[in-house]
């Protein structure tokens, strides 16, 4: 079975690695060869680190042998299932789903990997909305055993069944939730991260202090701002903006600090600096 993975960023790389390590053949696509070269290097590194981080021992060469990379969405045309992982921005996702609708076959299941955008809205771009399914993968994908599974209004039981089978093959437990912006996890998490950013913005506490309270008082393995750096500060902002637009509720107002950091390229681990600094991209 061939699975197309669109987007070779943080999430797409994790999805591709997870699929290939589970025995699937993967076609990973993005806009340029440089991004794809970085993706292959990241997958090789993460495979080598897998056992050290508590995961299974992985042979980088064997995993990469199951991944074909290519520039452009048309390269996934023959895939049975395509997983879209582009940034959490409506205009970008809309354009990618429109292109997928042109190149994919009538029986292809298109999975939208999104943390906030309603699946029915994305499916409306397609001429086959019954084939569009939402899956919110958590980051880092290979290490997170649970995903949110979201049917759109028109999604068929068959498309859901095929998606569940794929997820099971990846070692994921799928928790089905209704189609609602932010679903379950990000309705709660984005409020927490956004408010934590406000604490730093208003000078109430440093990022280190905020995270120490959450780790020490609540037993969280990571504080909310460490989590923001892991997910990507830009992704956090886009998700909060989706919630604010969808619900028109002031509780989702994006913190200005998130906007400033996004504009400045301080996106967290993937750029080497966010709320924290990561020497050598570590």
Which residues sit in the known binding site?
7-12, 30, 88, 93, 115, 139, 270
Q: Which of 97, 136, 154, 220 is the catalytic position? A: 136
Query: Structure tokens of 5?
Result: 């993975």
246 is catalytic: no
Write out the DSSP string of 245-258: HHH--GGGPPPHHH
Residue 99 CA to its chain's centroid (Å): 19
Compute the distance between CA of residue 215 and CA of residue 222 in angstroms, rounded to an integer.
Answer: 6
Annotated binding site for NAD(+): 7-12, 30, 88, 93, 115, 139, 270
CA-wise closest residue to 76 among 94, 95, 102: 102
The answer to whether the CB of 23 falls within 8 A of the CB of 44 is: no
135 - beta bridge partners?
A: 113, 149
Q: How far is CA 248 from CA 130, 184, 191, 240, in A?
A: 28, 18, 14, 11
Q: Are 17 and 43 in contact (CB under 8 A)?
A: yes
CA distances for 180 relative to 34, 153, 173, 242, angstroms: 36, 11, 20, 11
Catalytically active residues, by annotation: 136
């Amino acid at each position: 079975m061939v699975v197309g993975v669109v987007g070779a960023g943080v999430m797409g790389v994790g999805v591709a690695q997870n699929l290939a390590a589970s025995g699937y053949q993967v076609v990973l696509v993005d806009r340029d060869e440089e991004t794809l070269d970085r993706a292959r290097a990241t997958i090789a590194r993460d495979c080598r680190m897998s056992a050290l981080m508590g995961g299974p021992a992985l042979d980088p060469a064997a995993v990469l042998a199951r991944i074909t990379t290519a520039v452009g969405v048309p390269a996934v045309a023959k895939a049975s299932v395509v997983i879209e992982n582009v940034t959490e921005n409506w205009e970008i996702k809309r354009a990618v789903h429109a292109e997928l609708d042109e190149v994919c076959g009538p029986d292809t299941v298109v999975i939208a990997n999104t943390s906030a955008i309603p699946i029915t809205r994305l499916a409306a771009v397609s001429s086959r909305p019954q084939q569009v399914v939402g899956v919110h993968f958590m980051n880092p994908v290979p290490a997170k055993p649970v995903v949110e599974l979201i049917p759109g209004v028109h999604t068929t039981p068959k498309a859901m069944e095929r998606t569940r089978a794929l997820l099971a093959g990846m070692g994921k437990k799928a928790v089905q939730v209704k189609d609602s912006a932010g679903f379950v996890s990000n309705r709660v998490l984005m409020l927490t991260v956004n408010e934590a950013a406000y604490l730093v913005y208003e000078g109430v506490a440093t990022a280190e202090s905020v995270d120490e309270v959450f780790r020490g008082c609540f037993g969280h393995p990571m504080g909310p701002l460490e989590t923001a750096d892991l997910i990507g500060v830009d992704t956090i902002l886009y998700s909060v903006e989706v919630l604010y637009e969808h619900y028109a509720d002031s509780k989702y107002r994006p913190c200005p600090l998130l906007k400033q950091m996004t504009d400045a390229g301080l996106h967290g681990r993937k750029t080497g600096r966010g709320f924290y600094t990561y020497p050598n991209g570590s």
